[in-house]
């Protein structure tokens, strides 16, 4: 998440001399915020004001604001004299996908665990990856412009996900008796890197994850099933 300030500039023609309320809301639901008042000359002259808002520049969704301008001589609850407007903000600093592939050295069946301490993932938080089977590939999403070297025994290339496509995944506990294994994924909504433990006999973990971000620890007989329907709905 990358919260940044933004402004909405509302330009309109004023026919009334005096104060006008400029109301707005996000997403077309809920009450309007009508605290913005601007004085206009009236008589068909241009009038303008700005509204300060905060947006997430790494969001997958546009911010759509709707509102209206109305002379304050009308009651706020009145529909008379309202001039509607709409404004859309499209996030510009979208995340990009990086794919890591385990290429084990010296004939090893797995790659060692690694940690990225520079807090680079889109949702923030350190990335801790457990021992991964040789040949496995997983992807994480990072802020645009992030640079770092591939961990030992891994290759890294630009991934093929847009970081906004997500699927429900079901992670099952190890089948080996009395075994605990590590799983990981990147959360679809928060973009946070998530890891956890499952022990034989534990119930399945069902989450909405960025596509291709999931993985499990080597040699722990854990499994991941990918749902057929994208999430969230």
Region 149-166: mean pLDDT is 84
pLDDT per residue as tens digits for the range 52-84: 999 988 788 889 999 999 999 999 999 999 999
- Whole-number CA gyration radius for the chain: 25
d(C-alpha 71, C-alpha 35), whole Å: 13
Over 70: is that where the pLDDT of 118 sits?
no
Residue in this structure with the two tokens 């906004």, named with its chain if needed: 164
Model confidence band, residue 93 (pLDDT cutoffs 50, 70, 90) = low
Residue in this structure with the two tokens 């290339």, named with its chain if needed: 157
User: pTM for the full model?
Assistant: 0.70
Q: Look at residue 120 in the predicted model and tell me its pLDDT.
A: 62
Burial (Cβ within 10 Å: 0-12, 13-18, ≥19) of residue 84:
exposed
Contacts of 92 (CB under 8 A, 6+ apart): 57
Q: Which structure tokens are listed for 145? A: 């412009």
Name the more confident of 33 and 148. 33
Q: Look at residue 55 in the predicted model and tell me its pLDDT.
A: 92
Q: Which structure tokens are listed for 201? A: 């006999």
- Asked whether the beta carbons of 184 and 195 are under 8 A apart, the reply is yes
pLDDT per residue as tens digits for the range 11-50: 999 999 999 999 999 999 999 999 999 999 999 999 999 9
Phi, psi of 201 (to 5 degrees): 100, -15
Q: What percent of the chain has pLDDT over 70?
A: 95
- Asked whether the beta carbons of 133 and 218 are under 8 A apart, the reply is yes
Task: List the beta strands (DSSP E) in the chain.
Answer: 3-14, 18-26, 33-40, 45-56, 63-71, 83-89, 96-102, 110-111, 114-116, 127-129, 132-133, 137-142, 154-158, 166-172, 180-186, 193-199, 205-210, 215-216, 223-230
């Amino acid at each position: 998440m990358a919260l940044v300030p933004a402004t909405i500039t509302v330009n309109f023609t004023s026919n009334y001399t005096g104060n006008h309320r400029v109301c707005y809301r996000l997403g077309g639901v809920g009450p309007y915020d009508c605290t913005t008042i601007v004085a206009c000359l009236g008589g068909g002259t241009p009038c303008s004001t700005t509204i300060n808002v905060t947006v997430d520049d790494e969001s997958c969704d546009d911010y759509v604001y709707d509102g209206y301008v109305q002379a304050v001589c009308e009651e706020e609850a009145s529909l008379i004299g309202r001039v509607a407007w709409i404004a859309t903000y499209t996030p510009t600093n979208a995340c990009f996908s990086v794919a890591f592939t385990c290429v084990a050295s010296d004939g090893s069946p797995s790659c060692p665990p690694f940690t990225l301490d520079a807090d680079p993932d889109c949702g923030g938080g350190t990335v801790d990856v457990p021992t991964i089977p040789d040949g496995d590939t997983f992807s994480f999403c990072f802020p645009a412009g992030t640079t770092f070297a591939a961990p030992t025994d891994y290759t890294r290339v630009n991934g093929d996900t847009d970081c906004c496509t997500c699927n429900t995944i079901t992670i099952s506990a190890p089948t080996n008796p009395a075994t605990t294994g590590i799983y990981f994924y990147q959360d679809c909504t928060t973009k946070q890197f998530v890891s956890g433990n499952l022990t034989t006999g534990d119930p399945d973990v069902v989450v909405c994850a960025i596509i291709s971000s999931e993985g499990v620890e080597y040699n722990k007989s854990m499994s991941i099933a990918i749902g057929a329907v994208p999430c969230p709905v």
